[in-house]
Amino acid sequence: MLSYLITLILTSRTLASPIANGPPGYGGGSPWQGSPPDNGQPWQGSPPWSGSPPGHGSPPCYGSQCSGSGSNTCNPQSPSDPGPGVEHHDVTQVGGWLWPYQVFKSSPLTPPEWEINSTGAELAPGLIFLTISDTLPLNTTKRPSPKIFTDKGQLVWSGPRGISTNLKFQDYNGKPHLTYWSGETTSGTNVGHGYGNVTFVDETYQVGPVVCPNYPSLNYSTDGTFKCDADIHESYVTDRNTLLSSAYNATPADLSSQGGPKDGWAWSSQFYELDPATGDVPFRWDSLEHAPINESHLPLNVSAGDGNYSAPYDYFHINSVVNIGDYYLLNSRHLWTIYLLDKTGEIIWHFSGDDGGDFGPLPDNGHFRWEHFVRPHNVTNDTLEISMFDNENYVPNQDQANIPTALLVYKLPFHPKPNDGNTSQAELISRVQTQEDLISYSQGSYTPRLENGNQFACYGQLPRMIEFDPAGNTIWEGRIAPDNLAQIYRAYKLKGWHATPSDAPGLFVERANSTQSSSSSSSSYGGEWGHGGAQSAYHGYVSWNGATEVTGWNVYVGTSQDSLTLTGTTGYRGFETQFNVPCWAKFVQVGAVESGEEVRRSEVFAVL
C-alpha cells in the first residue's frame, strides 16, 4: 500500500552554451537572486549578473605554482597533472523532518545521505534500484524520484522528479531497459493505489516507449480524472515482450456478506497484459469475476473503504502479478492468497496464508498475512518455489497486530493433489526474520537469492534495505529516511545494468584556497598528489548522471578555447570526482573514459 509522496528542489550550477561561466558567488561574489534553477537544465540566455562575474580577478597561487618566493603571480610552468581524483559530496543537514541529503558541485541532484551498517562480510555484486517518497506531508525526503545507488550509498542515477514506484531493469525486445511507474497516488479512505504510466528507458537513458493505458470502462470513484490508468503496484515485462500492469476499478457490489450494504461499491482489482509498442490489450483479468468478496480479511470501515461510492471497499488489493509461461501468478494482499491462473484467467489453484488453500494446512511458523511481492523461482513441470514479503500486519490497531514481518520461501507442487484437509503439500524451505523484529505494515520486497547466495529485502514504509547472508544473518543495512515518514515501495539489488548516458557530463570549476579540504567524504588535497606539497589554484568537479562504465576522466586545460590540451587523466571516484586544475587555466573540459576510450566530453567551462 502506498501513501502520500512529495518533491524536491534542485540547485543548478552550470551555464548553457559551449562555455560555462562560474555561477554567482564564484570567487566571493553574491549568491543567486530569487530561485535557483531547479530542473536539472542549464541557464538559458545571459548569466544572472551584469558586467564581469562576481569575484572575477587574478587567481591565487600556492607553493610551487607561484612564480617566485612570496609572489602572488601564477607560474605558467606550474604542474598541470589533475591528480588521481577523490570522491566528493557535501551533506546538508537542515533539521526538522528533512533527512540529510547529498550536494554536488557539478550536478543539481540532491539524493538522500545513507546511514549504512555493515559487518564487513562479502556482499553480492550489483546496484540498488529504488524509489523514495514521503509517507506523510512533512517533506522528509528532498526529491522523490527513481534512483540507482551503489551499496556504499553513492548515487549512480537519479531520474525525473515526481512520484514513482517499482524501478528496476528488465529485458524488452532483447535489450535491458529501466522501467518504472510514475503518476498520481490516492490518499484518504481510498489510499493504496494510483493512476499513471510506465516508462521504459534504454541504456543511454533515452525514453521510449511510455505506456499510458486508457481503459474505457474504468471508474475512478471520487479519486479524480487521470490521463493514464496504470496502477502503482505492478509493471512486469513478460518473456513475450508484453507488460503486465495492475489497475483499480470502482464497481457496484453486494457487500452484505461483510456487513456492508447490498448495493455497495468495491474496488475490483484488475490486471492487463499490454503491448508496450502499440497499446493493444490481449488479456484482462478482474477479481470480482473470480474471487468472492466474503473471503476478504479486510474489515469494512477502515482506511481502505467503507463500501460507499466515495470510498469503495478494497476487498482484494492486487499488488503483484507475473507470468510463468502461459500461466499467471497473482497475489491478493487482503485475501492473504496467491493464485495460479491459466491463460484464460481461470483459477487453477490458490495458496492461502491462513489455511493453506488447495495445499492443506501450513506449519505454525509458515502462515502469512497482508503479503507483498510474490515471485516464482526454480519452476519445473512438477514443482515451483514461491517467495514473498510477509508483512503480517495491515494497520497498527488491527487484530493480531505487531507480529514481526518475515521473508518466506515455499516449495509447492505445480499440480497439487486434492486437499484432504490433513496433509500439507506446502514445504516451507526458508524463513528469515530480523533480530530487531521489524514490523512493516505496508509495501516491501524480497529477493531470496542474489548471485553469491545472499538475500536482499526492502521494508516498505520502514525505508530500510537489508542484505542477509545465505543463512539469514544480517550483514548490511542501509537507511535513507526516518521510519514511517518515508517509504520505498520496492528495492532491488541487480547486477547487469550497463549504461552510457547520451547527454554530456557535468563540469564545475572553482577556486581553491590554501586551507581548503574537500568534502566530508573526500580527503584533503596536497602532497599526496605528487605536487611537492602544492595545491592547485582551482578544483574541478565532474559527474555524469547514470554512467556505470566510466573508469577515468581526461582533463583538458588551456588559456583559450582553441588551446585546450590534455593535461592528464584523473580517476573515476564515484558520482562526483574532484580533481586539480592549474592556476593558469582559463578554460577546462573533461572527457569520460570507458575501456580505454574517450566516449563523451563535457561542455567547456570558462574559469575566468
pLDDT score, position 22: 34
**Nearest CA-CA partner of 103 in 528, 541, 603:** 541
Instruction: Give the phi and the psi of residue 34 in degrees, each rounded to 5.
Output: 75, -160
Beta carbons of 312 and 250 less than 8 angstroms apart:
yes
CA angle 524, 526, 527 (to 5 degrees): 130
For cell 521473508, what's the residue? 407
Residue 558 CA to residue 589 CA, distance in Å, equals 9
Strands 538-543 and 207-211: unpaired
How many Cβ atoms from other residues are within 10 Å of residue 511's Cβ? 20
Phi/psi region, residue 217 (left: phi>0; alpha: psi -120 to 50; beta: rest), is alpha
For residue 44, what are the contacts with CB-CB under 8 A and spacing of at least 6?
16
Query: What is the DSSP annotation of 439-459?
Result: ---S--EEES--TTS-EEEEE
DSSP character for 293? G
SS3 state of residue 240: coil
Residue 523 CA to residue 516 CA, distance in Å, equals 11
pLDDT score, position 13: 30
Strand partners, 471: none
DSSP character for 117? E
SS3 state of residue 528: helix
Instruction: Give the phi and the psi of residue 25 in degrees, each rounded to 5.
Output: 95, -10
pLDDT score, position 400: 65
459-473 exposure pattern, b = at least 16 Cβ within 10 A, e = fewer? bbbbbbbbbbbeeee
How many Cβ atoms from other residues are within 10 Å of residue 27's Cβ? 15
pLDDT score, position 69: 39
Residue 226 CA to residue 163 CA, distance in Å, equals 14
Could you give the C-alpha distances from 176 to 179, 200, 204, in angstroms and in order? 9, 10, 11
pLDDT score, position 189: 79
Q: Which amino acid is at 147?
A: K
Residue 88 CA to residue 155 CA, distance in Å, equals 11
For cell 502469512, what's the residue? 368
Residue 461 CA to residue 439 CA, distance in Å, equals 10
For cell 541487480, what's the residue? 494
pLDDT score, position 302: 67
Residue 604 CA to residue 608 CA, distance in Å, equals 12
Beta carbons of 314 and 320 less than 8 angstroms apart:
no
Listed as own residue / partner, the contacts of 288-292 with beta carbons closer than 8 Å and 24 or more positions apart are: 288/251, 288/253, 288/316, 289/345, 290/345, 290/346, 290/347, 291/316, 291/332, 291/335, 291/337, 291/339, 291/347, 292/257
Handedness of CA 128, 574, 452, 179 (dihedral sign): positive
Residue 170's Cβ-count burial label (10 Å; 0-12, 13-18, 19+) is middle
**Nearest CA-CA partner of 555 in 573, 568, 539, 544:** 568
DSSP character for 287? G
Strands 337-341 and 347-352: antiparallel
**What is the value of pTM for the model shown?**
0.86
pLDDT score, position 160: 96
Residue 308 CA to residue 260 CA, distance in Å, equals 9
pLDDT score, position 72: 54
SS3 state of residue 64: helix
Could you give the C-alpha distances from 542 to 184, 505, 547, 572, 575, in angstroms and in order? 34, 7, 12, 9, 8
Residue 232's Cβ-count burial label (10 Å; 0-12, 13-18, 19+) is buried
pLDDT per 10-residue tile (average), the chain, 608 residues:
31 31 30 33 33 36 40 69 96 89 97 97 98 87 94 98 96 98 90 96 97 95 94 98 98 96 97 97 98 95 84 97 98 98 98 97 95 98 98 76 92 96 96 95 97 98 97 98 95 98 98 49 32 62 98 97 96 97 95 98 94
